[in-house]
Amino acid sequence: MLKNIRVFLLKIKKIILNPRLLLCFLLCRFGSMFPDKHYLFLMYLLRMNKLLNLKSPKTFNEKLQWLKLYDRRPEYTIYADKYAVREHIANTIGEDYLIPLLGVWDKVEDIPWNKLPNQFI
């Protein structure tokens, strides 16, 4: 318990002493109050230490940010969900291409660790 408190306090100290980390922390907590474009501009500036170029993106990171804003296909939500994409793959190319599933749990506390194999991903 004391070790967890010490680790927590060290993280807080690190965030407070570094203004950039403090702004990132606050933006992550309250970023939903900003429009997406403004949020991405601020986070990009804080993390990459340069301005985001969305008019003519050159770097891989700039292109990813552009895609986040302007390429919002509904299937991307399915592709990002590890469990939901299984059904999509099964319907598209067949169940033969799916890796066997050990289980799906909502909370870590629900996982029966003693029933899982010795090695798994």
- Tens digits of residue pLDDT in 64-78: 999 999 998 999 999
Model-level pTM? Answer: 0.58
Q: How far apart are CA 37 and CA 69, in angstroms?
A: 7
pLDDT at 121: 62
pLDDT at 8: 87
Q: What is the pLDDT of residues 3-42, one digit of tens each?
A: 788 888 888 888 778 878 778 877 888 878 889 999 999 9
pLDDT at 44: 93
Which of these, 42, 14, 16, lies nearest to 28 by C-alpha position? Answer: 42
Q: What percent of the chain is modeled with pLDDT above 90?
A: 50
CB 61 within 8 A of CB 55: no
pLDDT at 73: 92
103 Rama sector, left if φ>0, alpha if ψ -120 to 50, beta otherwise: left
